[in-house]
């Protein structure tokens, strides 16, 4: 988790010509957030535990100076109609509709299983804890933070199998709203974090990742002496970046 964030924050610092923010990132703080989420137990979409995790995320972001909007919507699922809530955070913007230039994203729901108690320490928890800590660090550079939108997607997990109508509920809804608003043209790029808590983490980028962003990430990894941990996936990947 730490090397992932260092590389990403170095990319952001270089892209927007700010001081190296990565030095302020605390892996310990990020893992504390993950532990809090895990302590809530399974957090599938529509659950009381997921609402508790939402309140925690909002509290942490607000304490770091971010303004958080709940984007609530309902969608049909294999288990009936469910209400989902995306969390959208901005820093220091004067106009409510001011477009962001860059997205940093994570899903915060967990997969629902009938046979096991799945608490999503890595899948759903690790990336959320990372993004909460990144929010604290980014707030140290207000000019940079103001260009970024933090997105916490609900409903990434499919209830049965990933299809065009099952899974990625939050990101599909967000992408549709973004296209309809006309703000997509202002966005320079974005990074989605998922399952970044492995002890021996290697960061794998989908083969369809934007070339310029990929070069910047690999260059940042080189600068940190961590290039060996960053590589390409041999194909595409279905996740919240897909919509």
> Would you place residue 3 in the very low, low, confident or very high pLDDT band (cuts 50, 70, 90)?
very low
Q: Would you list the domain boundaries of the chain?
A: 27-199
Cβ atoms of residues 68 and 131 within 8 Å: no
Burial environment of residue 240 by CB neighbours within 10 A (0 to 12, 13 to 18, 19 or more): buried
> Would you place residue 8 in the very low, low, confident or very high pLDDT band (cuts 50, 70, 90)?
low
For domain 27-199, the CATH class is alpha beta
Q: What does the pLDDT read at residue 5?
A: 47
Tell me: pLDDT of 157 over 50. Answer: yes
> 169 in helix, strand or coil?
helix
47 vs 131: CA distance, rounded Å = 22
Helices assigned H by DSSP within the chain: 2-15, 27-39, 48-63, 127-138, 142-145, 169-181, 211-223
Cβ atoms of residues 75 and 173 within 8 Å: yes
> 224 in helix, strand or coil?
coil
Dump pLDDT digits (tens) for 33-56: 999 999 999 999 999 999 999 999
Dump pLDDT digits (tens) for 164-188: 999 999 999 999 999 999 989 899 9
133 vs 24: CA distance, rounded Å = 10
239 Cβ neighbours under 8 A, 6+ residues apart: 156, 168, 192, 194
């Amino acid at each position: 988790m730490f090397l992932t964030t260092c590389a990403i924050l170095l990319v952001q610092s270089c892209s927007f010509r700010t001081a190296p923010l990565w030095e302020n990132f605390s892996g310990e703080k990020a893992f504390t957030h993950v532990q809090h989420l895990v302590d809530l137990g399974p957090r599938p979409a529509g659950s009381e535990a997921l609402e508790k995790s939402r309140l925690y995320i909002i509290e942490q972001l607000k304490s770091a100076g971010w303004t958080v909007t709940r984007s609530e919507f309902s969608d049909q699922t294999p288990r009936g109609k469910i209400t989902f809530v995306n969390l959208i955070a901005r820093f220091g913007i004067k106009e409510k509709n001011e477009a962001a230039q860059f997205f940093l994203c994570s899903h915060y729901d967990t997969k629902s299983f009938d046979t096991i108690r799945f608490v999503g320490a890595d899948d759903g928890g690790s990336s959320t804890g990372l993004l909460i800590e990144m929010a604290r660090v980014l707030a140290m550079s207000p000019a940079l933070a103001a260009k970024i939108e933090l997105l916490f997607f609900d409903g990434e997990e499919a209830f049965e199998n990933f299809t065009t109508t099952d899974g990625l509920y939050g990101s599909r809804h967000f992408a549709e709203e973004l296209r309809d608003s006309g703000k997509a043209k202002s966005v320079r790029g974005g990074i989605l974090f998922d399952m970044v808590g492995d002890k021996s983490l290697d960061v794998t980028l989908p083969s369809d990742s934007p070339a310029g962003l990929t070069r910047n990430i690999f260059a940042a990894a080189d600068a940190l002496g961590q290039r060996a941990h960053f590589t390409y996936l041999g194909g595409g990947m279905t996740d919240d970046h897909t919509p």
